A and B are shown apart, each in its own frame.
Chain A
């Protein structure tokens, strides 16, 4: 477990030693702030649910784009530079590598989400705020990010090309995100499956302030599945 922490710290540090962390943070903060506060200025009402609700123009969609950008380098870069071989020769298991890299990326996403706490804090200063709903929303975004990052990690673990890793992860995430709104076009028997599999539907529930175990389980299962795939991809390296 200590080695997982060491690896996670190294990944998080790598983000902040390069422009990646700053670009991700600035883009996420500016755009999500704009999305939230545009309603404040246009309609004169502050609706923080904007921050959490998935939509065609929402912070969640930003995460669908930014998460693959965060994760694309995790394994692909090391495979290309050859340092993966050195890493594999160290007394660390593939699981420790996968978890370390995942937690490093999740660390960056957590920082991005934590910085947006400035928005609810601003709103409390303007008027009363349902902190319970905000917490459920943040839990939703965190679980949502975890699933996206795990998918991105799996894609990065399967290739040595960062662009491929990015596009594959973005493609999968975007399909899982948008299928929620497209289920009306699907055959009737497929619609419930699409509804369940959609990344956005479960976030929608949490954004309403409802913490349903089914939604939490969905994200945790998806994350665990993608991490398992990453571990298998890394183990294939030894084959």
Chain B
């Protein structure tokens, strides 16, 4: 599809969405350049899907604007939708349709010229590996195949921008790997926005990461820069009580946060029942280990483990988004 070669494919300025009294998205501005794979990160409920909906023109912003290839989405909704391929979360497709019929429908509604439709469909079938399931009803498909059909319908009109909302959620590890490979291949020639809350996914696929928390943009950088960002080394420690139930999480966090040289304290996995794990981010150049040891002892707890690790993207993500959603996280890269 013909578009000016220069300028960002997607640009949002002060994008805001209010639902009743709550601010779901609050003044989010970012750009996506041609050929980029942008990771769109945030805890569940941070406003990722709402932002993407506004970008695709399915939801009207309360304030701010979205431009797709320089065109204002609210002024020219149909024109901008033509340039976007969108796969909503969980791939909501027409369950009662057969895969081939569904692709035909998508091609017709996405304005693939009648003459080129057969070629476009067969290109998508080979690209997304759908040959075996063409005659099946979509409701019979495994989740992995379902996502592939979703990807195929989103790309069938060769869009300028592909927007994928949590394309790997609910898949098993093999399927995740498949979809991730597919997305990486697509990213070689396409501009992609990939929304997710799975960090290894963006580290493995994305050129740049935007993180939002509580409806606000909190970071916009490369994965490597974000991982290294603003924090010194990370100290991992595991404690347990002398006897009885595990120590209180909040109390321990407060004690550790008070140690000089500590930038942030994040809950992490413990080592079995009764123990508590923590990842402590040190301030640049500081080594808080002696202080941490003293604090644990002063609290009357047993220190099971205390060692340095290198900072990961996850540390940055959690530091930036914690408070937005405490229950999120738990995985270790």
| A joins B in a complex | yes
The answer, among B59, B84, B90, B109, for a CB contact under 8 Å with A92, is B109
Known A82-B92, A85-B58; judge A91-B109 contact (CB<8 A): yes
Assess whether B81 is in contact with A89, with CB atoms less than 8 Å apart.
yes
Which segment, of A10-18, A33-41, A50-58, faces chain B?
A10-18
Assess whether B105 is in contact with A6, with CB atoms less than 8 Å apart.
yes
The answer, among B86, B89, B94, for a CB contact under 8 Å with A83, is B94
Mark interface residues in B43-63 (1 if CB within 8 Å of A CB, else 0): 000000000010011111000
Residue of A nearest to B74 (CB): A238
Nearest CB of chain B from residue A85's CB, rounded to whole Å: 5
**How far apart are the CA atoms of A93 and B79 in the complex, in Å?**
11
Assess whether A238 is in contact with B92, with CB atoms less than 8 Å apart.
no
**How far apart are the CA atoms of A89 and B81 in the complex, in Å?**
6
Q: List residues of chain A with CB within 8 A of the CB of B95.
A: 81
**How far apart are the CA atoms of A14 and B94 in the complex, in Å?**
9
Assess whether A239 is in contact with B108, with CB atoms less than 8 Å apart.
no
Interface residues of A in 225-239 (CB under 8 A from B): 237-239
Q: List residues of chain B with CB within 8 A of the CB of A197.
A: none
Residue of B nearest to A82 (CB): B92
Interface size band for B: 20 to 34
Q: Does B78 contact A (CB under 8 A)?
A: yes
Known A3-B109, A82-B88; judge A89-B57 contact (CB<8 A): yes
Q: At the interface, is chain A mostly helix, strand, loop or mixed? A: helix
Assess whether A6 is in contact with B108, with CB atoms less than 8 Å apart.
yes
Assess whether A238 is in contact with B59, with CB atoms less than 8 Å apart.
yes
Residue of B nearest to A18 (CB): B96
**How far apart are the CA atoms of A167 and B171 in the complex, in Å?**
38
Assess whether B88 is in contact with A86, with CB atoms less than 8 Å apart.
yes
Assess whether B109 is in contact with A6, with CB atoms less than 8 Å apart.
yes
Q: Does A90 contact B (CB under 8 A)?
A: yes
Residue of B nearest to A5 (CB): B108
Q: Does A88 contact B (CB under 8 A)?
A: yes
Q: List residues of chain B with CB within 8 A of the CB of A88.
A: 57-58
Q: List residues of chain B with CB within 8 A of the CB of A10.
A: 94, 97, 105
Assess whether A91 is in contact with B53, with CB atoms less than 8 Å apart.
no
Mark interface residues in B272-288 (1 if CB within 8 Å of A CB, else 0): 00000000000000000
**How far apart are the CA atoms of A92 and B59 in the complex, in Å?**
14
Assess whether B108 is in contact with A89, with CB atoms less than 8 Å apart.
no
Residue of A nearest to B92 (CB): A82
Nearest CB of chain A from residue B215's CB, rounded to whole Å: 18
Q: List residues of chain B with CB within 8 A of the CB of A86.
A: 86-88, 92-93, 153
Assess whether B88 is in contact with A85, with CB atoms less than 8 Å apart.
yes
**How far apart are the CA atoms of A88 and B153 in the complex, in Å?**
14
Q: List residues of chain A with CB within 8 A of the CB of B53.
A: 85
Nearest CB of chain A from residue B66's CB, rounded to whole Å: 13
Q: List residues of chain A with CB within 8 A of the CB of B96.
A: 14, 17-18
**How far apart are the CA atoms of A225 and B300 in the complex, in Å?**
74
Q: List residues of chain B with CB within 8 A of the CB of A81.
A: 92, 95
Assess whether A91 is in contact with B81, with CB atoms less than 8 Å apart.
yes
Assess whether A91 is in contact with B88, with CB atoms less than 8 Å apart.
no
The answer, among B90, B97, B105, B111, for a CB contact under 8 Å with A91, is B111
Assess whether B56 is in contact with A89, with CB atoms less than 8 Å apart.
yes
Interface residues of A in 13-47 (CB under 8 A from B): 13-14, 17-18
**How far apart are the CA atoms of A85 and B58 in the complex, in Å?**
7
**How far apart are the CA atoms of A7 and B109 in the complex, in Å?**
8
Assess whether B78 is in contact with A93, with CB atoms less than 8 Å apart.
yes
Known A6-B105, A85-B53; judge A91-B92 contact (CB<8 A): no
The answer, among A17, A82, A85, A91, for a CB contact under 8 Å with B82, is A91
**How far apart are the CA atoms of A192 and B96 in the complex, in Å?**
47
Assess whether B59 is in contact with A83, with CB atoms less than 8 Å apart.
no
**How far apart are the CA atoms of A85 and B94 in the complex, in Å?**
12
Assess whether A91 is in contact with B110, with CB atoms less than 8 Å apart.
yes
Q: List residues of chain B with CB within 8 A of the CB of A3.
A: 108-109
Most chain A CB neighbours (cut-off 10 Å) among B96, B101, B106: B96
**How far apart are the CA atoms of A2 and B87 in the complex, in Å?**
24
The answer, among B81, B93, B94, B97, for a CB contact under 8 Å with A90, is B81
Assess whether B88 is in contact with A90, with CB atoms less than 8 Å apart.
no
Residue of B nearest to A87 (CB): B109
Q: List 17 A-B contacts (CB under 8 A).
A: A6-B109, A13-B101, A14-B96, A81-B92, A81-B95, A82-B92, A83-B92, A83-B93, A85-B58, A85-B92, A86-B93, A89-B58, A89-B86, A89-B88, A91-B81, A93-B78, A238-B59
Which 10 interchain pairs have the tightest Cβ spacing? Answer: A82-B92, A89-B86, A88-B58, A83-B92, A91-B81, A89-B56, A91-B82, A6-B108, A91-B78, A90-B109
- Report which B residues bind A (CB closer than 8 A): 53, 56-60, 78-79, 81-82, 84, 86-90, 92-97, 101, 105-106, 108-111, 153
